[in-house]
Chains A and B, each alone.
Chain A
Amino acid sequence: NAGVTQTPKFRILKIGQSMTLQCAQDMNHNYMYWYRQDPGMGLKLIYYSVGAGITDKGEVPNGYNVSRSTTEDFPLRLELAAPSQTSVYFCASSLGGHRRSTIYFGEGSWLTVV
């Protein structure tokens, strides 16, 4: 019963490096999301997707890119990592959006940029 799976769980990056956070869901959900949570703060939406081939910006998209080539996968790309991107990243999915269905979150990916 996997649900939403994120990899890696922990990563340390150097300033200027790039990396991809992987997210996969096995619930055949249409909607997928990426949120970040800074220490002592609430979650903020980075990007979301309402279906394969469709992505849209959230509240804090700068410094990130996403793609949605399949229903199952929604990778988040960090280009030229900066210390401000040190955060916990949560991927999530839902069948039909949060007003009609439950959003399920992954366990999070801890990223430190030094």
Chain B
Amino acid sequence: DQQVKQNSPSLSVQEGRISILNCDYTNSMFDYFLWYKKYPAEGPTFLISISSIKDKNEDGRFTVFLNKSAKHLSLHIVPSQPGDSAVYFCAASVLIGGADGLTFGKGTHLIIQP
């Protein structure tokens, strides 16, 4: 049973436009969310995170929005660049008894078209 869902396996966006990647979650106990970017044959790299006490977090071209009532978050990349072509993973966590694990979605493959 997937607790973190990324329903779009792939997304194609033109260079310079906005890329919007979506993520839904089912566990209402999740209170911390992260986005990771992964190139082929490399490990994931951290992009941006957001705590459930906020509804928006911005870092340069990357903005994450959190809608707790809808159990939905999205990652906006503006403007999209060729180097943004990668697989993006949404991840979530809940702090129970000091555990530090992340629950990942399946990922969305973002393709930036020139």
Contact = CB atoms under 8 A, between A and B. Distances in A.
B25 to A, nearest CB: 12
27 contacts: A42-B89, A42-B91, A42-B103, A42-B104, A42-B106, A43-B91, A43-B104, A45-B101, A48-B99, A48-B101, A50-B100, A56-B99, A59-B103, A90-B43, A90-B44, A98-B49, A98-B93, A98-B100, A99-B95, A102-B46, A103-B46, A103-B102, A105-B43, A105-B45, A108-B41, A108-B42, A108-B43
A4, A41, A42, A107 pick with most chain B CB within 10 angstroms: A42
A44 B103 CA distance: 7
Nearest to B42: A107
Task: Pick from A33, A43, A45, A98 the residue with the most CB of B within 10 Å.
Answer: A43
Interface of B: 4, 32, 34, 41-46, 49, 89, 91, 93, 95, 98-107
Contacts, number: 60
A31 interface: yes
Kindly name the residue among B43, B106, B107 whose own CB sees the greatest number of chain A CB atoms within 10 A. B43
Nearest to A56: B99
Contacts of B104: 42-44
Contacts of A48: 99-101
Interface of A: 4, 31, 33, 40-45, 48, 50, 56, 58-59, 90, 92, 97-99, 102-108
